[in-house]
Amino acid sequence: MASPLVGDNSPEHGAASLNKLYHPKHTSCGAKLMPAPRLGTPRILLDPARYQIAIAFVLIFIFSTLPSHGQLDSSARGSSLEELRTAIEDSQSLTDTDRVAALNAIESASVLSQRTIHLKAQTQSFMDLAQAAPALLDSVLAELDAGAQNIIVLPESDASATELEQALAQASADLRLAREILLEIDDEIAHRRDRRSSLPDEIAAAMQRQVNLQETLLVSGEGLLAAARTAESQARADEVDALIQLLQSELASYDARQELLPARRDRAARRVAELVDIEQQWQDIVQAARKSEAAQAAREAQKLRIEAAEQSDALLSFAAINETLARRRASREGVPQELAETERELLIAKQQFAELQSQYTVVVHRLNTSGLSRATGIVLRRQYESLPNLATLRKQRNETRERLEQAEMLLVERQELRFGAGDIDYTIEALRAATRESSPEVDVTSPEFAEVARRLAVARRDLLDQLVVDSTASFERLLELEEHYSTLLDATQEYREFIGERILWVRSINPQLSSTFVDGVDITNLTFAIDAVDSSVDLQSTTAQAARALKSSPLLTVAIGLAVISGLGIYLWTGRVHRKLAEQVKSYRTDRLRYTYAALGVSLLAAIPLPIGWWTTAYLFSQSTGDSALISSLAWAMQQTFPLLIWLCVAASLLTKNGPVDSHFRWPTTSVVSMRRHLRWAGPLFLLLSLAALAINHLRDTSLNASYGRGSFIASQVVFAALVWIVLHPKRTVLRGYLSGNSGTTTSRLILVACLLGTALPLFLAAFSWMGYHYTAIELSSRVTMTVGLISILVVANAILMRWLFIARRRVAVEDAKRRREQAIAEANAAPDEEGPTESSLPPIDEEKLNLPAISGQTMQLFRASVAVSLALGLLAIWSSVLPALRAFDQVEIWPEIRIADERVDPAIEALDVNSMLVTGSSLNNTTSPPGTTSTHDPARPLLDPSALGTNGARADGQPQREAGDNVISLADLGLALVFGFIAFAAFRNLPGLVEIFVLQRLPLDAASRFALSTVLRYAIGIAGVLATSAVLGISWDKVQWLAAALTFGLAFGLQEIFANFVSGLIILAERPVRIGDTVTVGGVTGVVTKIRMRATTVTDWDRKELVIPNRQFITGEVINWTLSDPTLRVIVPVGVAYGSDIQLVEQTLMQIGEENNLVLKDPKHYVLFRDFGDSTLDFELRVFISNIDNILNVPHQLRIAIDKKFRELDIEIAFPQRDLHLRSVDPMISLAEQIRSGKPDDQRASD
């Protein structure tokens, strides 16, 4: 039997697309809720309904005058098509190509004929519905006039709780179906409105298509192929004719049923209200029946306990357990009470979900009709504020899961007890055995004992049966409640994102200035607004209500008094404490990190009183609102600005004289004074202006928002921009001292970027508010303020870390200075001839002149990584609610052409999609509809909206339809690719270092192995970043593989050296023939490997020159690695002694010298060789082993000095080369020399 809620089955979606109407995916249950249009999609509102109808009738008249060809009956045409098909198949004159083309045309004509039949059936359905509309309207109106029927049929007096629960389940199913019908009718109303506006255009397009087809039919030919094509064209013309008739009948049906749908909606809404009342009544009846049954069972258990007490202690104990179970079941903590509470929560969850569904339907329909108008924006904001709290829903779901686990454990326990109580005879025998043991004098065979025992056993069984039934029902209800909470949580989160994607792109106030503006102020609106504010504020009433609130809360009054008194005391006390702590940290002898923590605690304590007073005032205002909207809004605004006030107070306390920033963090005094001075005027001004803007915005008064609200907000943003400019500008007083010594660094560039961004962003928000996006500007401004607070917290945290590092480094430097002083004193006192210095004669340690150790690169990297991760997580938490709005950029296509893709729509929220539930025949929990009910889906209702697609794959607006494989890149894709690229770049730069610090250094790996793994990880991160960025841009491997192959082939010739070096670099990292820190010799160059890059390796030689050597030389050339497997090296020191020296003494002396040198290894053992008898020397060699190549020059140097010294002490002569000169015929030469010396002339010397 059909449900009385079901009215007429009305098709609402018009004719289906001709190209997709008979697609196998589209069945009669495939109706979907039309998704909401994308942001910025304009809704073209056509002329009123009467004008559309007039146009439609004119088009019908024109269509009726056109000639029509081949208006044959469908069956006759089908027969003729079959005959033509047979003739084509049997024809011998057709070529194979013509035969295939003719058969394809016949097949197409057959399909078109079937479509025509279906369209005519839909047309007849629309006509039948239009004809039946008056009678249905009279029936619905008569039912509405009959009044509500929420009287239930009371059950019989002896009805059990199980029968009542079945009636309750039927009432719940009826209510669920009624709500689905109501939501479907709402969908019909909105969709009918859309169809009425689009049908005239569709009829005109179909008629134009028919005209084009008529022109095609005029061209005829001879032969079977021409006949087949003519048949196809005729079938297509018939299909278009049927489509026109369908569209016309659909429009006429809407007109005929114009009054029926609202009446059906009223009837469905009233029926929902009736069924809600009926379900509540049944719940009360079921709950009362459960209580009655539980109380009756408790009374019977008590009676049995009294009877059992007369028999034996064993029966008494058994009966006491029965009574305990029965009383627990009947108590407030019993399962029936818990079940009633669960059903109440389930009803509330269902109502919340139904309300959420209704809100979603209203929003989607409004977006489909009017787009993102100001009115739609108001609806979106109100619904966004009224959405259930996600944290509360998540907490309720988790608590329900815990209750579900407990209910399941209780159910299993009671089922196990029930299994043991099923055998009555066994239970009686157990009671007899227990009685014989405890009370031997009792006759367990008496009929009285057997009767009482049997009644107790049966009572235990029945009681456990009830408990199992109750536990099962409780478990099932809790399971259903958990599913409802989970679905409600998911739907709320998706709906919040759905609204968040659109809400920020809607103007909340009018950006245009009216003619009544004088100097930028709307006189008319302001006069009305001021009168409204004056009438809403009653200071006397507000003061009286605040006084009553104080009297009703004595603790609050005491807290306020203590806050005021403590605030004054703290203000005077903190100054002295800061001065005392500043004195402690001036000297390294007394400076400790705990003093910094104490100063921070004192600063926070000094910042507390004013925020406490602020919050107390807001609380009093909220308690004394009465009918004053302004006071209520002011209290709300004070609560919203409470974090801002805390930030201002903490900042002012930290910047106070001798405070943490001045004395502990040691920022420049001029910078601290300048920040303190500017914060004193900008902070309160920004706070008050923000308070005014938020309070006025909370009033939701357009006039106030457009005047006072917008003016206050713009002024606050100007103040904020001015403060940022003053604080962060490089040439201002605050940062001038710091940047003068750090110009050109990364920090200075970041500060400049922050200055420009921090100044431009508030001004941009002010302009945004002036353009009408006031709500958007306020939301973004609050997150900008939170971002500034987050950055401030990270700056203070970084300062604390740097102070800790400074104290640790200074302690090391002081200890090193003390050690040097003690060493100097010890050396001076050790000299016997000189008077050494004393402790008092040495100058004191000067803290400013200490040579502090360099900051560890790993420590700084850890600090930077910690700050960066904290900043990223904080920004994600702050801006997460705004991120859905960025999806609007997904409709701005930049490839293959720049355009706004208005037709790209988001899918509907499946959990809130009414039609998606109707398609599956289920509601929230996939529950089956009650027997005898039917769905309201109309089989004559078209499955697709013909307005979405035109003919030949083109849209109705003339734009080409995108293919599934088209690569469309939007502005959102580009932005996401940039984000992925930035993340990949940051990970490429920093992640390998962090992995080495946290992971690799804890593994048993040497430095070279860690470097190789870090390099491979860096390459992997780079490749993954490129792939992820390319995937976002739609660049997949199947699209670029041929280009990659071509580039590889071309680059293999043009850049073969680079490729060879790259592959060699990979081989070096894999095989590790050279590693970071190895000493190598390549091409006559010896040095230490310092870097291994993708193309080349850097080697630093002994002259500290860095040589960049291509990686290929390490693979294909000859390389000496001095430290590859064993860094131990042998050093040879040759020594030559004079002939006649004591050889044994020389050998012993050389061995002793090698033994005494600390750099010479003991194992392998050094040794001495007598190599040869030289020309002038006896040649010896001292061969020693050293640990590494770092000492290859120092050890021979030390050994030679020791040899020279030792040989001198032992008179061992180190020989040098000697030559004997033998002269012959020396007498004439002597005579000639004497003549020259005597001065004889040349001729005389010649004669001589």
Encode pLDDT of 615-648 as tens digits: 888 887 777 655 567 778 888 899 999 999 999 9
Question: For the ranges 105-119, 413-427, 941-955, 1163-1177, which has the lowest average pLDDT?
Answer: 941-955
Question: For the ranges 182-186, 870-874, 1193-1197, which has the lowest average pLDDT?
Answer: 182-186
What is the pLDDT averaged over residues 836-850? Answer: 47
Contact 214, 66 (CB under 8 A): yes
Predicted pLDDT of residue 721: 93
What is the pLDDT averaged over residues 263-273? Answer: 86
Contact 712, 696 (CB under 8 A): yes
The pLDDT confidence band at residue 955, using thresholds 50, 70 and 90, is very low
Beta strands, E only, 876-1012 = 892-895, 899-900, 969-970
pLDDT above 70 covers a percentage of the chain that reads 73
For the chain, give the mean pLDDT.
Answer: 75
Strand order in the sheet with 1129-1138: 1129-1138, 1177-1186, 1167-1173
pLDDT (tens digit per residue) in 762-820: 999 999 999 989 999 999 999 999 999 999 999 899 889 888 888 887 887 777 777 77
Asked if pLDDT for residue 594 goes beyond 60, the answer is yes
Asked if pLDDT for residue 859 goes beyond 80, the answer is no
Which of 74-88, 116-130, 816-830 has the largest mean confidence?
Answer: 116-130
The pLDDT confidence band at residue 46, using thresholds 50, 70 and 90, is very low
Asked if pLDDT for residue 954 goes beyond 50, the answer is no
Contact 751, 735 (CB under 8 A): yes
Gap between the Cα atoms of 299 and 293, Å rounded: 10
pLDDT (tens digit per residue) in 990-1027: 777 777 767 777 777 766 667 777 778 888 888 888 88
Predicted pLDDT of residue 535: 43
Gap between the Cα atoms of 1056 and 1065, Å rounded: 14
Predicted pLDDT of residue 314: 80
Which of 158-162, 395-399, 974-978 has the largest mean confidence?
Answer: 395-399
Predicted pLDDT of residue 153: 63
Which of 541-550, 1044-1053, 1061-1070 has the largest mean confidence?
Answer: 1061-1070
pLDDT above 90 covers a percentage of the chain that reads 8
The pLDDT confidence band at residue 466, using thresholds 50, 70 and 90, is confident
Predicted pLDDT of residue 477: 87
Task: Give the pairing of strands 1106-1110 and 1119-1121.
Answer: unpaired
pLDDT (tens digit per residue) in 525-564: 444 444 444 444 444 554 555 555 555 556 556 666 666 6
Name the more confident of 1019 and 488: 488
The pLDDT confidence band at residue 54, using thresholds 50, 70 and 90, is very low
Gap between the Cα atoms of 5 and 182, Å rounded: 10
Contact 1184, 1153 (CB under 8 A): no
C-alpha neighbours within 13 Å on the C-beta side of residue 958: 1
1177 DSSP β-pair partners: 1138
Element of type H or E holding 288: helix 260-309
pLDDT (tens digit per residue) in 1179-1223: 899 999 988 887 888 889 989 999 988 888 888 888 777 666 666
Name the more confident of 1107 and 165: 1107
1133 DSSP β-pair partners: 1182
Gap between the Cα atoms of 5 and 12, Å rounded: 19
Q: Which residue has the tokens 């030949």?
A: 952
C-alpha neighbours within 13 Å on the C-beta side of residue 410: 20
pLDDT (tens digit per residue) in 410-423: 888 888 888 878 78
Instruction: Report residue 41: phi and psi, to 5°.
Output: -75, 115
The pLDDT confidence band at residue 57, using thresholds 50, 70 and 90, is very low
Predicted pLDDT of residue 733: 67
What is the pLDDT averaged over residues 449-470? Answer: 83
Asked if pLDDT for residue 693 goes beyond 80, the answer is yes
Distances (CA, A) of 831 to 828, 836, 839, 842: 6, 7, 16, 17
What is the pLDDT averaged over residues 301-313? Answer: 76
Predicted pLDDT of residue 532: 45
Name the more confident of 381 and 864: 381
pLDDT (tens digit per residue) in 707-716: 888 999 999 9
Element of type H or E holding 1097: strand 1096-1101
- Count of Cβ atoms closer than 10 Å to residue 637 Cβ: 22
The conformation of residue 381, written as its DSSP 8-state character, comes to H
Predicted pLDDT of residue 218: 57
pLDDT (tens digit per residue) in 309-361: 777 778 888 888 877 878 777 776 667 778 778 888 888 888 888 888 888 87
Predicted pLDDT of residue 551: 58
